[in-house]
Amino acid sequence: MADCVLQTLIPDIKHLAETKVSKYRLPGMALGIIRDQELAWFGGFGAADLDLSKKPTENTIARIASVTKTFTTTAVMQLRDEGRLKLEDPLAEHIPEFASARAIRGEVEGVTIRRLLTHRSGLVTESPTHGWNDLNFPSREEMLVKLPETGIVIPQDSAFKYSNLAFGLLGEVIYRLTGTPYTEYVHANIIEPLGLTSTVFDLTDELRPHFFVGYNPTPYQDHPECAPYAHLNGISSAGQLHSSVSDLAKWVSFQFQTDGGDRRGAQVLKGQTLVEIQQPQYVDPDWSSGQCLGWRATRIGNHIYHNHGGGIHGFGTQVWFNVPSKTGVVVLINMWPPHGGLEIAQEVLEMVLNADEAVQPVPEQPTHEPTPEALRPFIGYYRAEPGIDVNIEMRDGSLQLAAHGGSVYSLHAPAVLEPTNKEEEWLVLGGRAAGEIALFKFDDENRVISYELGAFVFKKLV
């Protein structure tokens, strides 16, 4: 179904991409659509290198800049899960030199790991050293030496304040806790297990031929100028990674592995921690967007999209995905700032999801499986005071709590009842009582007469 929907959209998606490249005079664009665990479609538009007229492929490598922050977040959460840090830890607990930072507004102790991950720490955007103007970014040693001149300039939690320095310092935390340089840690614990073969902090001779040529926009001539290349050095954890659409498709697919269980192999973060990362920590007043751990969340209509962008000389990136549908879009453009075009990630994702929802699903046929004899005593109509009605029904192979009389909701219903090793105790899955035990009572003839759940006693009437 999903592939059929996507196939019908491809002509419109191609046209949209070609229009963006032309309208904004973009050198090139690499666009990929992810469905669950695979790159379902790729389109290369314009040129990866204008002088060679070479189209980008799914393996063409670009600098992905601040999308690096989502990898840094994953590394921090790995260490949290190992018990090496807590999200509420003050940064100074792990980098004692930070105690000398200038608290112009806010407090040094208020700069916590969680607030750094969510851009709510009040910390300045960049280290007070050289950087973007002269394309000479500070080393980690220079960044640390400048901490006494580094400002906390707005109160914690008062506003979203994006900070590259925050993630530079998180990279230092990773180094200090593991004894391994940040880039080596991320490569060994995230990049390599996920099989991201073209995702690197520094281009190798083997990968260099696959590198996009990055360009600066030039308003007064047709041919844009090649962008300079500068290593981010001490703030590499904020934006130094290079990657491709094929690798970023794997990165997006990993975000869907929320039921993947404990960390092992390519499950580089346990599923429950992925769920935690994707939960908004702060929501904007109009509820249109919010900040998760590392990722941004954007609400458009009934859809929630997680996303992160990246921009650095010569390169613009957008990564967007929707968890319930396990659909994502990656776009790489070899110009920065591109003045347009990157919004295609959101637009294509909306196109796909809206098309999915327009297709009427074929109703599942009932199984008509007979109720096991041992479960027949449980099914029926129950009521708790002061008038809460619920049915226990056998549906789709399991006992379920269902609202009585055609209602869609009745306190603990709908939910599934899962058997335990005790006949009278059933675990509730879903709904208000999720994780609690429904305790059944039987009469002398082993007939169910009631069950207790959440301090309510439901007596069986029928």
Residue-by-residue DSSP string for 213-266: PPEE--TTSSSPEEPP----GGGHHHH--EEEHHHHHHHHHHHT-TT--S-BTT
What percent of the chain stands above pLDDT 70? 100
What residues does 311 pair with on adjacent strands? 316
Distance in angstroms (rounded) separating the CA atoms of residues 138 and 73: 21
What residues does 58 pair with on adjacent strands? none
| 444 DSSP 8-state letter | T
Q: Minimal CA–CA distance to 36: which of 289, 361, 293, 352?
A: 352
- The model's pLDDT over 185-211, given as tens digits with 9 standing for 90+, comes to 999 999 999 999 999 999 999 999 999
pLDDT at 365 over 50: yes
Helix axes 68-81, 164-178, angle to 10 degrees: 40
What are the C-alpha distances in Å from 143 to residues 90, 127, 172, 237? 18, 6, 10, 13
Q: Read off the pLDDT band of 222 (50, 70, 90).
A: confident
| pLDDT score, position 255 | 98
Query: Other CB atoms closer than 10 Å to residue 303's CB: what's the count?
Result: 15
Does residue 318 contact residue 29 with C-beta atoms inside 8 Å?
no
| pLDDT score, position 105 | 95
CATH number belonging to domain 373-460: 2.40.128
pLDDT at 257 over 60: yes
Distance in angstroms (rounded) separating the CA atoms of residues 30 and 222: 21
Give strand ranges (E) for 36-129. 38-46, 61-63, 102-103
pLDDT at 53 over 90: no
| pLDDT score, position 1 | 44
DSSP 3-state of 45: strand
CATH number belonging to domain 2-81+176-358: 3.40.710.10
Report angle CA 324, 346, 228 to the nearest 5 degrees.
Answer: 125
Amino acid at 35: R
Q: Read off the pLDDT band of 366 (50, 70, 90).
A: confident
Delimit the domains of the chain by residue range.
2-81+176-358, 373-460
Taking residues 398-419, report their average pLDDT: 92
Does residue 119 contact residue 128 with C-beta atoms inside 8 Å?
no
* Mean residue pLDDT across the chain: 96
- The model's pLDDT over 97-150, given as tens digits with 9 standing for 90+, comes to 999 999 999 999 999 999 999 999 999 999 999 888 888 999 999 999 999 999
Give the total residue count for the chain.
462
Higher pLDDT, 261 or 405: 261
Distance in angstroms (rounded) separating the CA atoms of residues 372 and 394: 9
H or E, element range at 317: strand 315-322
Q: Read off the pLDDT band of 368 (50, 70, 90).
A: confident
Half-sphere exposure at residue 8, Cβ-oriented, CA atoms within 13 angstroms: 12
Amino acid at 158: S
Q: What is the 3-state secondary structure (H, E, C) of 297-313?
A: EEEECCEEEEEEEEEEC
In order, the DSSP letters of 323-390 are: TTTTEEEEEEESBSS-SSSTTHHHHHHHHHHHHHHHSPPPPPPP--PPPPGGGGGG-EEEEETTTEEE
| pLDDT score, position 363 | 78
